[in-house]
């Protein structure tokens, strides 16, 4: 659990329930989670904190998820930070745009908590942390 | 053309006047010829007028036919758009209903399971606590016997190796039962985690249905824009139907307004047509790493 505790994840979604559910899932897996309600807020948080992963929705006011990916990829600090898009959108065209802008992966809502934790472990390089966080007899 | 008409009337008049005032047969003939020429000119003029009127009527008819066909094309466009939007809206309402139903079923299932497990856990915890208590008591007895044996008091207290063996066997059995109870607690914990995972998925219905409902509102706003355009057109029409030119102008005006309404509504079509939610159930969505 020690390694994952140091990782900070930003969840950007205009839905409070999704922010809460992602936060609940990732905190239970040992990550520190901060939240933002739209892309602009997310960008401000990313500038203020050093993040290890950004998970963002697409359809939001102010700055949408794809614009946020583009803005973050434009910052030297976030050129290589994993960014996951968590959205209801699932068309090939949208995925192609996300990939072209530099997103690391695409998760279609509703997310399975186990699958989310697995992907987060994978992209943040904390594989095995879950087993440490929840030891079994 | 007008001159022919006047000349015809003048000639006829002059011919008739000559007939009335002259008595010479030769002059009568000339007068008749003059009258005939005058009437010929009048008839020719009438015939020309008739042809022109027929041509104008035909042209007006052609114009109305063309206008009518354009009118029908625009009406078809309205009808097709309404039909398309209503069909999509109806399907999306069904999708919304199915998602909500799915969410309610999943959450009810999770709630029922959690309620049952809380009740079952009570018994299991009591059982494990009972085993633990017995194990501690027997362990204490065993320790006392062991201590007495060490002090060589077993005979005085009636302690025997047989007693010790029986106690050890009992402790081992209780320990096994405790291990079974603890394993059961872990199994239940796993089930509870799985149920919580199901609940987390089901609770995402709020975001998904909210997006779908917002999209449906966009579709309704688009339909409203189309309908209000049509309603404004009807309210603006007020002409005398017996006036053909006014009727023609009325329909031309109505056609232009319908086109304007379609153009204005077209500004909203992008939002109405952008469907972000394709989920039919709350099953887990796909995951793809680039």
Residues of chain B falling short of pLDDT 70: 1-2, 149, 151-163, 229, 232-244
Least CB–CB distance from A110: residue in B182, B196, B208: B208
Chain centroid to CA B288: how far?
A: 28
d(CA A123, CA A129): 13
pLDDT given at position A137: 35
The total number of structural domains that make up chain A: 1
The total number of structural domains that make up chain B: 1
Interface test with B, best of A109, A125, A133 (most B CBs within 10 A): A109
A18 touches chain B (CB under 8 A): yes
pLDDT given at position B59: 80
Asked, for residue B279, whether it belongs to a domain, the answer is: no
| ipTM > 0.90 for the complex | no
pLDDT per residue of chain A (137 residues) written in tens, 0 to 9? 444 458 999 999 999 999 999 999 999 899 999 999 999 999 999 999 899 999 999 999 889 999 999 999 999 999 999 999 999 999 999 999 999 999 999 999 999 999 999 999 999 988 654 434 443 33
- Write the CB contacts of A104 (distance below 8 Å, at least 6 apart in sequence): A82, A83, A84, A123, B289, B290
d(CA B156, CA B140): 19
Asked, for residue B219, whether it belongs to a domain, the answer is: yes
pLDDT given at position B36: 86
A112 touches chain B (CB under 8 A): yes
pLDDT given at position B106: 92
pLDDT given at position B243: 65
Query: Searching chain B, which residue's CA lies closest to the CA of residue A107?
Result: B287
pLDDT given at position B61: 78
Chain B positions touching A136 (Cβ under 8 A) are 186
pLDDT given at position A136: 39
pLDDT given at position A128: 53
B214 touches chain A (CB under 8 A): no
Chain B positions touching A61 (Cβ under 8 A) are none
Question: Which tokens sit at A136?
Answer: 């079994």
pLDDT given at position A132: 44
Full residue range of the structural domain in which residue A103 is found: 2-133
Q: A107: domain CATH number?
A: 3.40.50.2300
Task: Tell me the nearest-neighbour CA distance from B209 into chain A, angstroms.
Answer: 10
pLDDT given at position B29: 82
Chain B positions touching A13 (Cβ under 8 A) are 207
Cα-Cα-Cα-Cα dihedral sign, residues A55, A60, A66, A71: negative
Full residue range of the structural domain in which residue B173 is found: 2-273
B98 touches chain A (CB under 8 A): no
Element (H, E) at A56: strand A53-56
d(CA A2, CA B274): 44
Least CB–CB distance from A90: residue in B196, B205, B285: B285
Q: Calculate the average pLDDT of chain B.
A: 81
């Amino acid at each position: 659990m020690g390694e994952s505790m140091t990782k900070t994840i930003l969840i950007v979604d205009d839905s409070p329930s999704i922010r809460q559910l992602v936060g609940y899932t990732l905190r239970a897996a040992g990550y520190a989670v901060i939240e933002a309600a739209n892309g602009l807020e997310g960008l401000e948080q990313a500038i203020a904190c050093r993040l290890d992963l950004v998970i963002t929705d697409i359809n939001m006011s102010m700055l949408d998820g794809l614009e946020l990916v583009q803005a973050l990829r434009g910052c030297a600090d976030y050129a290589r930070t994993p960014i996951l898009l968590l959205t209801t959108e699932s068309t090939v065209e949208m995925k192609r745009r996300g990939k072209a802008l530099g997103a690391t992966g695409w998760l279609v809502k509703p997310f399975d908590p186990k699958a989310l934790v697995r992907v987060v472990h994978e992209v943040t390089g904390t594989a095995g942390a879950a087993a440490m966080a929840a030891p079994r007899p | 053309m007008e001159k022919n008409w006047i000349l015809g009337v003048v000639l006829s008049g002059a011919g008739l006047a000559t007939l009335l005032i002259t008595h010479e047969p030769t002059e009568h003939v000339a007068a008749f010829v003059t009258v005939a020429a005058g009437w010929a000119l009048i008839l020719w003029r009438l015939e020309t007028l008739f042809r022109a009127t027929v041509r104008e009527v035909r042209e007006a008819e052609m114009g109305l036919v063309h206008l009518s066909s354009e009118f029908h094309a625009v009406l078809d466009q309205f009808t097709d758009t309404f039909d398309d939007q209503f069909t999509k809206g109806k399907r999306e309402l069904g999708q919304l209903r199915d998602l909500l139903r799915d969410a309610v079923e999943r959450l009810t299932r999770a709630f029922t399971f959690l309620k049952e497990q809380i009740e079952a856990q009570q018994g299991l915890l009591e059982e494990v606590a009972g085993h633990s208590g017995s194990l501690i008591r027997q362990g204490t007895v065993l320790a006392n016997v062991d201590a007495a044996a060490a002090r060589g008091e077993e005979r005085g207290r009636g302690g025997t190796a047989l007693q010790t063996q029986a106690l050890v066997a009992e402790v081992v059995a209780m320990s096994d039962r405790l291990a079974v109870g603890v394993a059961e607690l872990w199994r239940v914990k796993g089930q509870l985690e799985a149920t919580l995972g199901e609940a987390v998925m089901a609770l995402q219905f709020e975001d998904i249905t909210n997006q779908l409902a917002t999209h449906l509102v966009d579709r309704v706003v688009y339909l409203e824009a189309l309908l209000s355009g049509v309603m404004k057109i009807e309210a603006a029409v007020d002409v005398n139907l017996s006036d053909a030119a006014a009727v023609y102008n009325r329909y031309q005006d109505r056609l232009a307004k319908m086109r304007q309404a379609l153009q204005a509504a077209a500004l909203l079509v992008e939002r109405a047509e952008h469907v972000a939610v394709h989920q039919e159930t709350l099953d887990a969505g796909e995951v793809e790493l680039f």
